[in-house]
């Protein structure tokens, strides 16, 4: 059958359809990779049921909880939201020293809610380091991880629920260039056995990645566009890899640090990333808006070092939390405690995107699932 379009228009229409398909696939992928951390350190926050409804109405499909808050877990039932369930540092000693305590913890906080709550990871401890203020907890992290893992494994759920821990970037000794990333010498005896366990259990390492703190601590050497994903060109050339933003460089320094232990291949999930809107150097509403918007867009792809799989990323945090300190910690929220959005971008079908096809010299508004 002869086409009703002239040849050049047929080509243009086909090009548009191809771009539309690629665009749609990318948006679906992006949507699936973004979560938001639900912190509760505020005396004016909505109820758990309201919060879960807010996640769902904004098409936020993943959540991180820092402790097994029973009201939140109840509200998550049948919501379809995937969950990182946290074990507070204060519980590590008990879980590490008594396997029965770990089994009871898993029964009370995991089995009592599974599978109506889609627990994907258990984060056993957050930002524990063998040096510094949290050093006392370090001796308990791996034994607690192992006891929780064994309790999950005993129920045959170790392939569905992965047990890990969350670290911060202070454990990285060298991050520049990213390919030379390495863990600090004084944390290797702590971290290497954890990486070995993660390899055995096929679990990812959870890492909190904050370009904001790197930028605010060294604005002379780190440009704001590089930190905000807005640099128009490659800023750091590292062999075959080029870095246009600091997030990718920091993430790949972690990938390289893991690889450079020569223990084996372990994936990384970015369990926190965010930008404050007030309270410190570079902490402005506009900077936060640009960073977070671009972080959502970026989540549909991998990093230069590991490009084949999109980076699962959790934004910190859902709300401004008025009981956190220092002051800057109060201003990381995507939403105000009133449930009003702080920023104009969204996560689901309410988010408009535009795609420009030069051949048509026209702009086509599309609905994004980012």
- 50 belongs to the catalytic site: no
User: Which class in CATH covers the domain with range 30-335?
Assistant: alpha beta
Question: Cβ(105)–Cβ(151) under 8 Å?
Answer: yes
**Alpha-carbon distances of 305 from 152, 242, 249, 341, 343, rounded to whole Å:** 32, 10, 9, 34, 31
228: closest CA among 273, 170, 176?
Answer: 273
Q: pTM for the complete prediction?
A: 0.86
Preceding peptide of 209 cis, ω within 30°: no
Q: Encode burial over 168-182: b for 16+ CB neighbours within 10 A, e otherwise.
A: bbebbeebebbbebb
Token duo for residue 275: 């930008």
- Catalytic pick from 82, 267, 272, 329? 272
Contacts of 302 (CB under 8 A, 6+ apart): 308, 309, 310, 311
| Strand 34-38 to 313-315 pairing | parallel
| Strand 82-87 to 62-65 pairing | parallel
Q: What is the pLDDT of residue 347?
A: 77
- 127 belongs to the catalytic site: yes
Token duo for residue 226: 């590089």
5: closest CA among 357, 356, 360, 358?
Answer: 360
- Catalytic pick from 82, 127, 312, 329? 127
Q: What is the pLDDT of residue 291?
A: 98
Token duo for residue 357: 């096809």
Measured CA to CA, the distance from residue 56 to residue 27 in angstroms comes to 17
Measured CA to CA, the distance from residue 60 to residue 31 in angstroms comes to 8
Question: Residue 173's Cα: distance from chain center in Å?
Answer: 22
- The region that residue 8 occupies, defined by phi over 0 for left and psi between -120 and 50 for alpha, beta otherwise, is alpha
Question: Cβ(88)–Cβ(67) under 8 Å?
Answer: yes
109: closest CA among 127, 93, 124?
Answer: 124
Question: Cβ(225)–Cβ(231) under 8 Å?
Answer: yes
Q: What is the pLDDT of residue 161?
A: 98
CB atoms within 10 A of CB 139: 15
Token duo for residue 146: 């192992």
Q: Which residues of the chain have pLDDT under 70?
A: 1-32, 348-370
Q: What is the CA radius of gyration of the chain?
A: 22
**Alpha-carbon distances of 92 from 42, 137, 201, rounded to whole Å:** 24, 7, 19
> Which class for 353: exposed (0-12), middle (13-18), buried (19 or more C-beta within 10 A)?
middle
303: closest CA among 268, 354, 338?
Answer: 268
Question: Cβ(130)–Cβ(187) under 8 Å?
Answer: yes
Q: What is the pLDDT of residue 348?
A: 53
Q: What is the pLDDT of residue 91?
A: 98
Token duo for residue 348: 């689901």
Q: What is the pLDDT of residue 21?
A: 43
């Amino acid at each position: 059958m002869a086409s009703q379009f002239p040849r050049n228009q047929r080509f243009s229409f086909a090009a548009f359809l191809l771009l539309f398909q690629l665009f749609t696939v990318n948006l679906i992928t992006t949507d699936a990779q973004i979560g938001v951390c639900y912190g509760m350190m505020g005396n004016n926050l909505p109820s758990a049921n309201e919060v879960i409804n807010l996640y769902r109405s904004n098409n936020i499909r993943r959540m991180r909880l820092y402790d097994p808050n029973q009201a939140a877990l109840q509200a998550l039932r049948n919501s379809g939201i995937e969950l990182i369930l946290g074990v507070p540092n204060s519980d590590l000693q008990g879980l590490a020293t008594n396997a029965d305590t770990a089994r009871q913890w898993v029964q009370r906080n995991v089995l009592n809610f599974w599978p109506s709550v889609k627990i994907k990871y258990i984060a056993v401890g957050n930002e524990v380091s063998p040096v510094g203020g949290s050093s006392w907890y370090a001796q308990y992290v791996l034994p607690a991880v192992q006891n929780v893992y064994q309790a999950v494994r005993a129920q045959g759920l170790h392939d569905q629920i992965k047990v890990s821990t969350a670290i911060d970037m202070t454990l990285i000794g060298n991050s520049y260039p990213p390919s030379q990333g390495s863990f600090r010498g004084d944390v290797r005896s702590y971290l290497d056995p954890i990486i070995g366990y993660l390899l055995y259990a096929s679990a990812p390492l959870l890492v909190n990645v904050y370009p904001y703190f790197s930028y605010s601590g060294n604005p002379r050497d780190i440009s704001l566009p590089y930190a905000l994903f807005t640099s128009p060109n490659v800023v750091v050339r590292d062999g075959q890899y080029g870095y246009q933003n600091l997030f990718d460089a920091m993430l790949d320094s972690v990938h390289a640090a893991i690889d450079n232990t020569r223990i084996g291949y372990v994936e990384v999930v970015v369990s926190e990333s965010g930008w404050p809107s007030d309270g410190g150097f570079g902490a402005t509403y506009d900077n936060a808006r640009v960073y977070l918007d671009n972080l959502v867009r970026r989540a549909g792809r991998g990093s230069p070092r590991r490009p084949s799989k999109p980076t699962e990323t959790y934004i910190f945090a859902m709300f401004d939390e008025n009981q956190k300190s220092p002051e800057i910690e109060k201003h990381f929220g995507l939403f105000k405690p009133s449930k009003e959005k702080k920023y104009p971008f969204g996560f689901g079908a309410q988010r408009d995107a535009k795609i420009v096809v030069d051949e048509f010299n026209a702009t086509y508004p599309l609905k994004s699932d980012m």
